Structure 1
Amino acid sequence: MTTGLTVLVPCYNEGPQVETAHGELVEALKEIGELEILFVDDGSTDDSLDRIRRLAETDPRVRYLSFTRNFGIDAVMAAGFRYAGQPWTVQCDADLQVPPGEIWALLDKAAEGYDVVFGERRGRRDPLVRRGGSAGLHWAARRVFGIDMPRGASTFRLVRTGLARTITELRLPWFIPAVPLVGARYAATPVAHRPRTAGRSKLRLARLTAHSFELFFGFSWRPLAAVYAAGVLGGALALVFAVLGYAGLAGGPVIAATQLLLTGLTVAAVALVGRYLHRLLRDTARPRTYYVKDANLPLLPEDTLTGGLPSPQPPARAVRQRG
């Protein structure tokens, strides 16, 4: 039985970092005979894809997929896990803030019988805002929304490839809380973390905020339960103040303030219910997560824009011979 490893490397405008990541990964994992380095180009607009192609020409361990546009990290994971050729897959960012040598820590921990091993970053070297935001997000998910978030979990993780495919096919908005949701055996192990030496993070505040909402509303029904409770409380308050107003025990300003409060709660409730409806409609429509425009491995027809059909030139007018 093969025990090889696929290293999934997401790329979006990484430029020279492509060769740097390849070199460090090959050096760190040279003891693994069945090694595959799978670059997934998320619609880069620089020369990242050209650099990956050149690596693939000289190193048969390099495989790649290139999207038709930027689809985001969720699409990268879905495609990467789907086309990974080895039974274990480790996700490793091209910025190499976690040194490739730390992959061995994940492998050693997985040997104890785990399906998923997360790298818990020691002395995380990201900006304070990023670290604080991440810690706050995980705290809110566990304490406020009741979501089972594995402690220490990060995007630097080792997963059984078959399990990763099962999770991504569920089309859930987050991978991390889906691991305990399906009953997988998981653990976290400490790994080193270093400052970014090239490029800059592709995640922006707006995207991080949207991603947080996907977590909260994708894995928890508590906000909807809170709306129900607020509705009952608001109805009771309205009834009480209506009686007090009729009896002349509450003046106009108090009643007006109460009406304004109830109106605000109503608007918030409608917005929250709309957010859940959006979630349900999105899951029902289930559009394609990504489309691949170029690869050096066999593609499934549904992952291409043309459905696997060739793209010949359109018919042209016949050239008439002059007599």
Structure 2
Amino acid sequence: MTGLTVLVPCFNEGAQVDVAHKELMAELAAIEDLEILFVDDGSTDDSLARIRTLAEADPRVRYLSFTRNFGIEAVMAAGFRYAGQPWTVQCDADLQVPPSQIWRLLDGAAEGHDIVFGRRVRRRDPLVRKIGSAGLHWAARTVFRIEMPRGASTFRLVRTPVARTITELRLPWFMAAVPLVGARHTMVDVSHRERDSGRSKLRLARLAGHSFELFFGFSWRPLNALYLIAALGLVAAVLGLEVAHLLVSAGTLAAVALVGRYVHRLAPRPPAFYVRESNLPLRPEDTLSHGAPTPPPPSRPAV
């Protein structure tokens, strides 16, 4: 099999759904075994209605629609689970990376790699977004010693079985998990352009929370810092240094919160997503009713 699934995450994309479908098909129609898999992450606009219309007109369009907004990690988990082809490319609906660049990823995979990341050349995002992204990657590599493919983006081509292996680990960052499993990966330069419409759906608060998931999910260095705080507290207590003792006490409170965050990660977690609607056969465990049909409620008896 040499087919390709194009995984398109959608959250309140509106008319951009049609634009994405048109451009993707114009570029990739020559691929015989091609499917476009839209994953609707609980949109509240007409994104799902537009996807339904596309699916009715084009048998290559498949879709999943979540019961609510679960986030991009859930979108990837669902998309890779239900991808029907041996290779899957993740392509955002905003098309900031043109569909023509997918061929560059495919050329990289032909060299024997499991995963090919697109590295955006002359990235066309707001300056604060670019600085924040660069700072996050620098902190991950330098401060927390997390191995990550340098310059990798969410525009990527993955061998579908490998992607399933990674997403089933339920780790918060796909690209940070790639080196952990030893997947063969590489990087290719891709062009980048302004969004065709609207603004990015990824807000600063979510980016910050996602960053904490990266730091605490892949690094033990914060816990190692707690040992230093404990040692300093012991020294301050022995020497009777009140100011130092107060500072260490404040650090201890922060340490308790940090340990609590690690412990929270060990708690049982609910499924990554639930699907409300799809034109694909679903696993029972991925639906709220576990595959049971919905019977009509009892009706009022006739008088």
Q: What secondary structure sits across from 1:259 in the alignment?
A: helix
1:252-271 residue pairs with structure 2 within 5 A? 255-271=241-257
Q: Which one-letter code corresponds to 1:55 in the other structure?
A: L
Tell me if 1:190 matches 2:189. yes
Task: Tell me what 1:72 maps to.
Answer: 71
Amino acid at match of 2:205: A
Aligned partner letter, 1:316: S
Please give the alpha-carbon distance, in whole angstroms, between the structure 1 residues aligned to 2:234 and 2:261. Answer: 23
Distance 1:274 1:309 in 2: 38
Give the residue type in structure 1 aligned to 2:257: A
1:132-177 per-position Cα deviation (integer Å, ceiling 9, x unaligned): 1101111110111010111121100000000111111110011001
Q: CA deviation at 1:317?
A: 4.7
Say which SS state the counterpart of residue 133 (structure 1) adopts. helix
2: distance between equivalents of 1:317 and 1:136?
62
1:258 Cα deviation from its structure 2 partner: 2.2
User: What is the deviation of 1:256?
Assistant: 3.1
Q: Percent identity?
A: 71
CA distance in 2, matches of 1:294, 1:64: 8
CA distance in 1, matches of 2:253, 2:269: 29
User: Is residue 2:38 matched to residue 1:50?
Assistant: no
Match of 1:313 in 2: 296
Q: What letter corresponds to residue 314 of structure 1 in structure 2? A: P
Quick one: which of 268, 271, 278 aligns to 1:295?
A: 278
SS in 1 for 2:14: coil
**SS of residue in 2 equivalent to 1:121:** strand
Segments ≥4 residues shifted beyond 6 Å = none
Do 2:229 and 2:252's aligned partners in 1 also have CA atoms closer than 8 Å? Answer: no
Unpaired runs of at least 5, structure 1: 243-254
Letter of the 2:278 partner, please give it: A
Query: Cα distance, 1:315 vs. partner?
Result: 2.5
**1:34 maps to what in 2?**
33
Structure 1 Cα separation of the partners of residues 211 and 71 of structure 2: 15
What displacement does 1:274 show?
A: 1.1
Give the drift of 1:266: 1.1
The equivalences for 1:67-216 within 5 A come to: 67-216=66-215
Corresponding residue SS for 1:177? helix
Q: Aligned AA for 1:186?
A: H
Offset, 1:286: 2.5
- Measured in 1, the distance between the counterparts of 2:302 and 2:208 equals 59
Query: What is the number of equivalent residue pairs in this alignment?
Result: 303
Q: Secondary structure at the match of 1:6?
A: strand
- Per the alignment, residue 14 of structure 1 pairs with 13
Aligned match of 2:2: 3
Q: Is 1:274 equivalent to 2:267 in the alignment?
A: no
Measured in 2, the distance between the counterparts of 1:272 and 1:290 equals 27
Q: Taking structure 2 as the reference length, what is the TM-score of the superposition?
A: 0.98
1:11-36 C-alpha deviation (Å, 9 max, x unpaired): 00000000100000001112211000
Q: What SS is found at the alignment partner of 1:60? A: coil
Cross-structure match for 2:233: 234
Structure 2 residue ranges without an equivalent (≥5): none
Q: TM-score, normalised by structure 1?
A: 0.92
Task: Please state how far the C-alpha of 1:230 moved relative to its aligned partner.
Answer: 1.8
Residue of structure 2 equivalent to 1:250: none
Larger radius of gyration: 1
Distance in 1 of aligned mates of 2:301 and 2:251: 70
Quote the offset at 1:318 in angstroms: 4.2
